[in-house]
Structures are given as C-alpha cells and as structure tokens.
Chains A and B, each alone.
Chain A
Amino acid sequence: MRIMKNRSFAVALVLMMLVSSLALGQGTAPAGQGGQTTKGAVIKGKAPVNKEVLKVKLPRAEEATLKNGLQVVVLPMHKVPTFNMQLVVLSGGLSDKADYRGLSSFTAALLREGTTKRSSKEIAEQVDALGATLTATSGLSSLTSVVNTGGLIENLDQTLDLFADVIRNPTFPQAEVDRYKTRTLATLQLQRSIPQFLAAEQFQRAIYGTSHPASLVAPPAESIKKLTSKDLADFHSTYYRPNNAILAVVGDVTLKEILPKLEKVLGDWQKGDVPAATIPQAPAQADARIYLIDRPGSVQTVLQLGTLGIERTSPDYFSVLLADRVLGGGPSGRLFLNLREDKGYTYGAYSNFGGSKFRGTWISSSEVRTDVTEGAMKEFMYELNRLRSETVPAEELDNAKRAIIGSFALSLEQPGTLLQNIITQKIYNLPADYWDTYPQKVSAITAADVQKAAQKYLDMSHLQVVAVGDASKAREVLGKYGKVELYDADGKPVTGGSESNNK
C-alpha cells in the first residue's frame, strides 16, 4: 500500500472577486436599481449583499491502495465522533443481462439477508444495536453498486466487521430470496398509485425506448419472478471484487488509523477478473410526442417535459449546468418564479439534468391543479423557448454563477457531498483538480454558451411531454400541442386513444 496524499483537513478562506461579476448590482440596465421586476419577483436591490464570493479551499482526501487492489479514500472530519463509509463496486445495472434487468439491484438488496457467519436477523440486530446503518443499493442503469455504512466512531471495529461480512460472505438464502420476491412484487403495485412514479416511468420510456436499461424505473416483474439464490451469488462473485471497488470514508478517523483495520477485515479479500460493462448508447432522439396517463381521481396534472441531455463528461457540461440553473434550479429559477410566484399554478416547478457514461435526460416538471394544465403548458413552452431564443441577461447569468460557486462554502460542513464529489471524480476519470477548478469552469461560461446549449439539447422537435392526471379534462388541452397518446395507470396503451409507442 502507499499513501498518496496526507494533508490535514484545513480550510483556507480566500476572498476573491468573481471574474465575471462586473455587472453585479450596477452598470447594466436591468440591475437592481430599485423597482426592477422580473417575472414573479420584484427586485428592490436594497438588501446588503457582499459582492465578493467566498472562495473556499476544499479538504484533501487521504488515499491508499491495498495489495488486493482496493482503493481507499479517507476524508477526515473530526467535528463529531461519527463516520460514514461507502464501498463503491464499479459494476451496477449496466452489467445486467438484457433479459435479466434488475439483477444488480437485487444482489445489493439481499446482501444483508444472510452471510456464512450471520443470519439476516442477526445482522439486523447487530447493526441496530450499534446504532449503525447498513444498506446496499444499485440502480437499473447505474455504473456502480454501493454498500453504505455509518455509525458511532467508538463502534468502528464492530461496524467494520459487519460491513466486511456482508460484502464478502453473503449467502443469499433461498428463503430470504423468496420473501424478497413477494415483498417486491407487492411494492411494484403500490408504486403505481404515486403519480410521479407513473410520469417517470413513461418519460424514461419516451426517451430511451424499450431496450436501454435507463428505460426502466423499476425492475420488471419477470426478472423478480425468476430470481434465484444462484443468480445473485454469481453476480456477487463476479463483480464484488477489491480490484473493482473504491472504499470511501468520511468522519472522525484518519487514513493512518483506519488502514490497519481495513487490512484486517478486507486485506485477504480475493481479486477477480471482472468483465467490463458495455456502455449502451442512448437511442436517437424520438420525434416530439405527448403521452397522457389517465389516473382517475387525480386533482392535479403531473407534467414532465424534456429531452435527451448530455454525458457526465460532455464538454457542454458547464453550459448545461448554468442553463439548467437559470431555467429551473430551485426557487430562484425561471420556472418557479413564473409558474408559482407569478401565476400561482403550483407549489413548485423545477428543472434538472443528469448524465452518466451514456447521455442522461434534461427534464422540466411541475404538479398543477387540473384546470390550469393549459396555462402551465403554455408557460413551460414559453420558458423553454425563451432559453433558446434569447441570451440570458448578464446579471441573471452572474447570479447563477454566484449561486453555484458560493454554495461550495456550505459543502464544507456536508461530508456526504464532499465524499460524493471525490467518488464522481474517480468514476468518470475527471482530472485530479476537477473540483478545485470547478469555480473557474463555471465562471468561464458565457451567455452565448448557455443559449447554444439550450438550442442544442432543448430541441423542441424532439420534446417529450408526459402528463399524469384526469384524462377526461387534460386530453383536450394537451391535444393543442400535438397528437396525445393515452395510457392507463398500469402503463398500458388505451385502445382507441392512439397509436402505440416505444418502437
């Protein structure tokens, strides 16, 4: 093993003017000179704002690699006597076979249901008695499977022992597998009562078709039904290998303190030849379509509108980041200010984007009372088009930059965020100084970059619109935007309603 970095946790505060903050507060026509109104907000400009963005120095992680290839990353934070730890296995849903979607997520879910040393019940009792948590998850289209634990630092040794046991020795007892199948099949039904679930399910299909793993938001029932203990054990023994994993720790512990403990419980974990996942490219963007899911009894229409977005490593990442922030990144975004603060249609309206090693989505969404579905559609279209057709005013863009860069100060007391950033950098092979130089990359984006990103990705000829609500009322409204394809709450096309989708 070798220690690559060992700088102690230190926060140096540097006050710095943002390069692009020249327009702030003054100098441009729409700036805060009092009485200026943007849609949904009145800017009086009288509150005392410190124009300097507090630049912070991010803490350094301490790193090492065990002989068996396990990468270890430790971020010491000694404020409170607790710790959190993640084993990030670099294989997830993208390693599932096409006819067995969900296997990686089932494997993770059943990891703590029995080992060669402990029964499911013993694991539950021992974890809870320590005041610890122990969970494992993997997504249907994820790059990774993640085992999480956390607890009181005085119980570190015992918690590590449990953590290593479920990682290395799960037996996937058939009786537990059967219980899991029963429970999960029932849960699939319950999810169908949640309107946001129905919307997400249809939206992912609209973007990714039928064969891409990201087309699914819940594992298919067929996969659950055929699940056996052996399938899980095979997935586990193939992919859960130290040379295919990163162990990330944050909390009241140093690398020097924890390494001997990790050596003890994970040092003799055997390497393996791990097959690389093939990254499935997203299908070509479908033509614009409108899907309506009839959910009788609904008093709101859940609206999700969007397109295929970018890969995490796309050169357009920072342009999209800023465009998304301006469009719908929280209560200061255009969607919130327009649909809620100006129109009163909704409790909230937001946009978000995500990208993996394949292209992610860029979605705008809201829940609105049924009788303003039409007005909400109009405003969504207005805001999406505005981002494409107009450059973002200098002050608005600058505010978005300040928001993103300024929030780094807050992350210094969010160990989970700091740890996630480090893991993201490793998974996507981003440069080692990626987060240190993040503010500069944000600052460098121009209004023209933002507009170009909007024009490139928010392509209205490919816009997918999904609505969940009372079809008897929403259908006619949505029909004004194109042909409406009607589905029921079980995800089945309603005959006579439309053509079928997902070709």
Chain B
Amino acid sequence: MSQQNRILILFAHPALEKSRINHWLIKAVRDIDSVTIRDLYEHYPNFHIDVKVEQELLLAHDIIVFQHPFYWYSSPAILKEWQDLVLEHGFAYGHDGTFLRGKKILSAITTGGSKQAYCRQGHNYFTVRELLAPFEQTAHLCGMDYLPPFVIHNTHQLQDSEQVSKYADLYRRAIVLLCNNQIEWEQLPQHAYLNHYLESVNIALESSLHVQ
C-alpha cells in the first residue's frame, strides 16, 4: 500500500438542518483519520473568511473535496466567496502562485434532478460535467488535477434510509480509496463521474471498508 493522502472536505450547505442527504454523507466520512471536514457556513456565518487559515489548510492536504448541494448549477454562495478570497494571485495562480500545484480536487455534489435531466434532451440541457466547467478550469489554472465528480442525483426522490445509506457507503468508499491512494488514477479520465469508476472497479476490498 502506498502512502496516505490527506483529504480536506470543504463542505458548503446553508441549511444543513433541512438536508436529506448531505447530512448523512458527512456523517459517513467524519471518523476517517486523514480527513478534515471544514464546514464553511458554520465557520463563517457572516462570510468573513479567514484567508490565511484556509490557505494553510490547503497546504496541509493532498486532495481537496468541494462537497455541496448543486444550487443553480453551481455551489452555494459561500464556496464562491471562498474561491474568490482564498485562491489568491501569488498563492494559487500567477507566476509565483504554485502552492497548490499537483494537488487533486474533487467535486462531490448532490442534486434533485435526475441524470436524464442533465443532457441535451433533458430540461437542464447541459450535462453536469459541462456545468462544472468553472470548477474544472479553476483547478487547471491552479495546476491541480480535477477528478471526475462524485454525483448523487434524484435527491428529491430519496424516500427511505436504505437508499440514503447506500449513497453514504459509496461516498465513504470513494473517500477511503482516495485516502489510501488505491485509485488507478490513469483510468479516471475515462469516466464522466467518479461513481462510474467505483462501480467498475473490483469490489474485492468492500468487506474491509464496510461501514460499521
């Protein structure tokens, strides 16, 4: 087994008390040793982001996860504020802005619409990958690898806890694999979603990763 990756989950949900899925996703990964969860709305209720602290957190981790519900085809407002402030010139980009180079970045999003809604025939017209282009390009500009996103569709239809825990397990598996560096990185670009890769790989490890 190769070295452990340290993961920083930047979590943005303005009304977690109303959440139906993100609450469980966070719970599923909370106890993993090399994972730091940064609840942005809890830390910065008035949007006064501490740039220095946030940059130090970035430096201390190898993989950054933007976990949030997909609002208006993008992230909740605070994550945009976080990008605007923290990804400074001379830190994240520009001639001397090489501090994030080589790190990996993952979008982990939840959306009410089905996968079919996100295509040319669907009422959202664009695919999720297309809509995530600003995040992908931001990662490129900062010299980071943008991984295929982890996407949960149809959150409106999530009725029972069984369905929810299935997704929570999947998310935990993804994070653990990323932590343990057990991803075949060269295969990832073939997949639109990280979910597809997870389904395709041998699930021999599943037993050792099972939640609880």
Do A and B pair up? The answer is no
